[in-house]
Structure 1
Amino acid sequence: MYSSHVRQSAVSMLDSGISYSEVCRRTGINRSTLRSWERNRSLIEKYRDNGDCPRCEPIPRPPAQAGPYSYLLGLYLGDGAINLAGDRSRNVWRLRIYCSDCWPGLIRECEANMAKVLPGHKIGRINCVGCTEVYGDWKHWPCLFPQFGPGKKHERPIVLERWQQAIVDEHPEAFVRGLIHSDGCRIDNKVRRRVGDEWKYYTYPRYQFSNASGDIVDLLTRALDRLQIPWKGHVSPRPPRQDKIVVSASTRAAVARMDEFVGAKY
């Protein structure tokens, strides 16, 4: 399947007067295919945004589905990985997002957003112990998620490309939602206070996110700042979250604002 920009380039050469034989020699596309594209111009754009890689075009562009991409980016930074799928010679990559089986709605949302970012491709599930792997196979996942690489994310720099940052700035709610759905939660925090001669217990909701990567935490807090949501952060002193940075949003206004676009996992 040829990308739209390849089809456009080939037809442009034909339109300029270059022969079929010469275009065939330059592009490796057979004459009958070139003839079909020239006669039916609708075929040139037929597969745009249906598996084409927007980053590999002569003028790279961001993914068309910016909101779903922003959400998927948050999921990937929290609970995702990119690995070669199957035979290495095929050079096909698999994006894997691991979702807890406790949240079937989250699994469906992950699946739906991955399908929007990669239309026309099969999105599958693999049952694992206590979780479900949602995956999609494509040759260009590293183009859309250049943060991928060997080793753990917190052991290497995680920096967004300019085009990614522009998407996150435009869709910060989707990005925060993805991060909270991966390494965060909405919980009821319980505190004890002494009033007079007795202890009283209070319960209030809060959003909490924990990750060992300072870079990923910084991406979250910058998005929260953009949304004008107050937050606090600290390094967790207790295992198993030792050395993880914990970010919480617990004021009444902050929780109410995040309830508008995040809410409890489901």
Structure 2
Amino acid sequence: MGHVRPQHVVDSALAASDAGMRDAANAAMHGVAVKTIRRWRRLYQRRGLPRGQAHTSAACPDCDGGALDEPAYAELLGWYLGDGHLSRGRRDVWNLHIYNDARYVHDNAVIAAIMRRVKPGGMPHTRLVPGCVITTVSWKHWICLLPQHGPGRKHERVIALEPWQEEIVERHSGPFLRGLLHSDGCRANNWTTRQVGGERRRYDYPRWQFSNRSEDILGLYTWALGLVDVPWRRSGRWCVSVSRREGVARLDDLVGPKR
């Protein structure tokens, strides 16, 4: 870490600059480099930024009482439960990683956008691996907002929402379902055959499917479906399907297509 100058030195240098002193003379008088004087003028005079890094750190809704964009958080929570995880970095900074198919360019842009809404001032970055985009943003307080983090895979441990998270999902069930379905779900065409007038005919129909190996996450998904009055059924060991016309239409309206 570079040397941190006392505040009175910075204040004196800025006052000298305001009085018209040249940067070279100002730097010599205060025992700093010319580029340091120029940086101080750029940051604190022209841009008006406060000294230090406090202005770049978003207030935590849990620790600091900061504001939380609830619809964005509900959707991000769905993405996290489906295809996300936390990793711990240096100085107790947590990295939130969301994985998504590289074909869905719009959805990958949405992931970055809702990350910025949940962490104002955040700067998500992406990394491309074969067939997949990993979107990452760092924050000390992800562990506060995503207490479901823990050792091991999600389907090998208990996943339960905190009461405050349940309240947010109850208010914003659509975004939560969107995050889940766009990560671990799909809208697909299914077909069946029926005997009509002595002739077997094929019928095609759309359905939404959600697949996850965690029974707890499947339970959260079906609970959220109940909140928006969407009928569902288990169509496999790890799969929940919505096939009724009114349920499909409701999810089409709430979730929208992957793109």
- Distance, in Å, in 2 between the alignment partners of 1:55 and 1:201 is 54
Question: What TM-score do you get using the length of structure 2 for normalisation?
Answer: 0.76
Q: 1:49 Cα shift?
A: 10
TM-score, structure 1 normalization: 0.74
Query: Counterpart in 2 of 1:51?
Result: 58
* Partner secondary structure for residue 254 of structure 2: coil
Determine the structure 1 residue equivalent to 2:136: 135
Asked whether 1:249 is paired with 2:249, we answer no
Matching of residue 170 in structure 1 with residue 174 in structure 2: no
Amino acid at match of 1:71: E
2:183 alignment partner, SS class: helix
Alpha-carbon deviation of 1:80?
0.2
Change (3 A) 1:49 1:172: farther
Return the letter of the residue paired with 2:88.
Answer: L
Cα distance in 1, alignment partners of residues 157 and 82 from structure 2:
14
Alpha-carbon distance in structure 2 between the residues aligned to 1:107 and 1:207: 21
Cross-structure match for 1:74: 78
> Which stretch has the larger CA shift, 199-208 or 176-185?
199-208
Instruction: Give the distance between the partners of 1:31 and 1:129, measured in 2 at CA.
Output: 49
Matched residue of 1:185: which SS?
A: strand
Matches within 5 A, 1:100-139: 100-139=101-140
**Change over 3 Å in CA distance of 1:122–1:253 after alignment to 2:** same
Moved over 2 A (4+): 47-50, 192-199
Judged with a 3 Å threshold, the aligned counterparts in structure 2 of structure 1 residues 103 and 49 are, in CA distance, closer, same or farther, namely same
CA contact (8 A) 2:115 2:122 kept: no
- 1:1-266 matches, within 5 Å, as 51-57=58-64, 63-85=67-89, 88=90, 90-236=91-237, 244=238, 246-266=239-259
By how many angstroms is 1:31 displaced?
A: 8.6
Shift of 1:194: 3.7
SS of 1:148's partner is: coil
CA–CA separation in structure 2 for the residues paired with 1:48 and 1:159: 33
d(CA) in 2 for partners of 1:133 and 1:205? Answer: 29
Cα distance, 1:56 vs structure 2: 1.1
Q: Residue 173 of structure 1: SS of its match in structure 2?
A: helix
RMSD: 2.4
The CA deviation at 1:264 is 1.9
CA contact (8 A) 1:49 1:64 kept: no
Identity %: 44
Unaligned runs of 5+ in 2: 1-5, 9-49
Measure, in 1, the Cα distance between the counterparts of 2:115 and 2:205: 34
Cα 1:213–1:110, aligned 2, differ >3 Å: closer, same or farther?
A: same
User: 1: distance between equivalents of 2:80 and 2:166?
Assistant: 15
* Residue of structure 1 equivalent to 2:30: none
For residues 38-91 of structure 1, what are the alpha-carbon distances to aligned partners after superposition, in whole Å with 9 as ceiling and x for unaligned? xxxxx8xxx79961112113xx57x52000000000000000000023xx3x22
> Which letter does structure 2 place at the counterpart of 1:131?
C
